[in-house]
Chains A and B, each alone.
Chain A
Amino acid sequence: MAMTMVEKILARATGQKTARAGDVVEPKVSLAMSHENAALVINQFLEIYKDTGLKPKVWDPDKIAIILDHRVPAESAKTATNQKKIREFVAAQKIKKFHDIRGDEGGICHQILPENGYVLPGTVVVGTDSHTTTHGALGAFSFGIGATEMASVWALGQVLNVEVPKTIKVVAKGKFGRYVLPKDFILYLIGRISAEGANFKVLEYHGPAIQKMPTSGRLTVANMSVEAGATSGIFPPDEETLRYLKEEAKIKGPIDIFGPDPEAEYDQVIEINVSDLEPMVACPHTVDNVKPVSQIGRVKVDQIVIGSCTNGRLDDLAIAARILKGKKIARGTRMLVFPASFRIYQQALQLGYLADLVKAGAVVMNPGCGCCLGVHEGALGDGEVALSTTNRNFKGRMGNPRAEVYLCSPAVAAASALTGYISDPRKGGK
């Protein structure tokens, strides 16, 4: 039987020859990731063991990763106490893939996992974060789950009662134009199929434009696949995947890769010619409210955010630095930069990108999620407008239901910083 990428992965993870969309399976998990919500996972994990006479012990401490990133450094005593509880649990259970608030190895979970070689192609990865879809960029079946479900994984090493999802094949042809980026591609796709267009399904990416896309861009596309409702976004691994894993994630030894069968059955096939795309903007308050930047009109921006798990990688910061170098951010507009990890922060420091950004007027923050989800480090005022390279623009997202968030690429964000209005980077920041 011909299988899609996810069917093949789930067949392997269940020790069966085949898996077919609709089957109910209980795959073995290769990596189980949590962040600050590990505090709730711990609570539910202990609850499972209550009155069983069994000692609460995670199934495999080497397959659990915990990264503190959502509220770092702690914005409140409550968070700090939760983080302390997590550190104690990590030590007691001997969990080694733990990334604390540190300038040498900390960062946002969706960058920490790939850059440390924690994710391998063909494996099952789960995370207590909806953007766990990110790791499909490396050819894993990677999806978000809730805290109680993670507690169950910690206990059993399996995800229980998973229905093998159907797959939508996305074929990208053509060549990206100047200042048209992977972010524009995924925003376009979400706008086309809607915020629920891939609900309960997997988006599998193919085509010449995907083969040429670097892993950093694939991480952006997989990250936002969940904004079309997808269980996961997945890139069949190729030469670029192997390059990333060996050169950047420093994996030594052989890496086993496989793709879907050519005759696999897809729910639907979507073709996109990326040559036709222009920079895109998702308007408030849904991610599928997408328009080309040329149709946006004059929108004054109070806060610009570049970074996050979506667009805080080195090439994202490089584009922003190139556009802003030697220039000044418009008065009345403020700009915050969140590198995706401290490894990237250090690289951007050495290459001079951070200096270019700061001299232009940007504020470089520590890697973290606080601003994007409205916890701290960049809340919006009543009636204010943000333009952000992050992944969500829901009402209340940046901490204020009386503010508006637009989403875009780092090129659009940087060009707009110069004018103070949403601007097209291809016009040289008018």
Chain B
Amino acid sequence: MAKVVLKLGDDISTDIIYPGRYMATVLPSETPQYAFADLPEFNSKLRSGQIPPGSVIVAGKNFGCGSSREQAASCLKGYDLIVVAKNFARIFMQNAINLGLRLVVCPEIEAEEGDELEILPDKIINKNSGREFKVEPLPKARQAIIDAGGLIAYTRQRLLARAASRKKV
């Protein structure tokens, strides 16, 4: 079971998730402190450990639109949050998959802060309203990266395979 800790609307940009002024901070170990920095109440809950890993952010359409900054994915991954949205902007979705941040595409999702969600591969059950919402699969092109546990691991496999095939020749 996963609890909704933040509910957001449509078109949540990477400037909301990780404001541009903190972009000099790049390391995944350091970015979480600035997650939703312009929503000070939520940011302080995150930083003070009041949000347990596996908690859910629910959003509308086009979550993560805007900049390609990977900090917007790494700062949420740092708290092991799950983002459930009606859909995601392309670059944010790819960054999230590359870093292993869990995203769920759920075009009809309706949930409020405090609701408990059961997230299954094909649907989400909102335990508070009793309603079920269909989940759409992530792009099939990215499945190999998800399976490898992220893009660093996947690229490493590919690099080693390439080096091995060169050695054989």
Determine if A47 and B152 form an interchain contact, defined as CB atoms under 8 angstroms apart.
yes
Kindly count the residue-residue contacts between A and B in the assembled complex, taking CB atoms under 8 Å apart: 155
Contact partners of A146 in chain B: CB under 8 A? 68-70, 73, 91, 94-95, 98
Q: Which of B65, B87, B94 contacts A149 (CB 8 A)?
A: B94
* Residues B102-153 near A (CB distance < 8 A): 139-142, 144-145, 150-152
A111 sits at the interface (CB 8 A)? no
Determine, out of A97-105, A337-345, A357-365, A388-396, the stretch whose residues face the partner at the interface. A388-396
Determine if B26 and A52 form an interchain contact, defined as CB atoms under 8 angstroms apart.
no
Determine if A78 and B25 form an interchain contact, defined as CB atoms under 8 angstroms apart.
yes
Contacts A37-B69, A195-B65, A395-B13; A155 near B141 (Cβ below 8 A): no
Contacts A146-B94, A375-B21; A155 near B159 (Cβ below 8 A): yes
Please name the residue on chain B nearest to A379 by beta carbon.
B21
User: Distance in Å from the Cβ of A428 to the closest Cβ of chain B?
Assistant: 36
Q: Which of B62, B70, B140 contacts A195 (CB 8 A)?
A: B62
The 8 A CB mask of A32-58 against B (1 = contact, 0 = none) is 000011011001100111001010000
Please name the residue on chain B nearest to A51 by beta carbon.
B156
A129 sits at the interface (CB 8 A)? yes
Contact partners of A52 in chain B: CB under 8 A? 156, 159-160, 163
Q: Which of B24, B66, B162 contacts A392 (CB 8 A)?
A: B66
Determine if B151 and A152 form an interchain contact, defined as CB atoms under 8 angstroms apart.
yes
Q: Which of A44, A79, A127, A144 contacts B24 (CB 8 A)?
A: A79
Determine if A229 and B95 form an interchain contact, defined as CB atoms under 8 angstroms apart.
no
Determine if A397 and B15 form an interchain contact, defined as CB atoms under 8 angstroms apart.
yes
Contact partners of A375 in chain B: CB under 8 A? 20-21, 23-24
Number of chain B residues whose Cβ lies closer than 8 Å to a Cβ of chain A:
47
Q: Which of A156, A286, A397 contacts B158 (CB 8 A)?
A: A156
Contact partners of B65 in chain A: CB under 8 A? 195-196, 229
By DSSP majority rule, is chain B's interface helix, strand, loop, or mixed? helix
User: Distance in Å from the Cβ of A141 to the closest Cβ of chain B?
Assistant: 14
Determine if A148 and B91 form an interchain contact, defined as CB atoms under 8 angstroms apart.
no
Contacts A40-B70, A78-B25, A161-B142; A395 near B15 (Cβ below 8 A): yes
Please name the residue on chain A nearest to B151 by beta carbon.
A148
Determine if B159 and A48 form an interchain contact, defined as CB atoms under 8 angstroms apart.
yes
How far, in angstroms, from A155 to B158 measured CA to CA in the complex?
Answer: 10
Determine if A397 and B38 form an interchain contact, defined as CB atoms under 8 angstroms apart.
no
Please name the residue on chain B nearest to A75 by beta carbon.
B24
Contact partners of A286 in chain B: CB under 8 A? 11
B42 sits at the interface (CB 8 A)? no
How far, in angstroms, from A316 to B159 measured CA to CA in the complex?
Answer: 45
Other A-B pairs beyond A24-B141, A146-B73, A195-B62, 11, CB < 8 Å = A36-B24, A48-B156, A146-B68, A156-B158, A156-B159, A162-B141, A373-B23, A374-B15, A374-B19, A394-B66, A397-B15
Which residues of B pack against A, CB within 8 Å? 11, 13, 15-16, 19-21, 23-27, 38, 61-62, 65-70, 73, 87, 89-91, 94-95, 98-99, 139-142, 144-145, 150-152, 154-156, 158-160, 162-163
Which residues of A pack against B, CB within 8 Å? 24, 36-37, 39-40, 43-44, 47-49, 52, 54, 70-71, 75-76, 78-79, 82, 127-130, 132, 144-149, 151-152, 155-156, 160-163, 195-196, 199-200, 229, 231, 286, 373-375, 392, 394-397, 399, 401
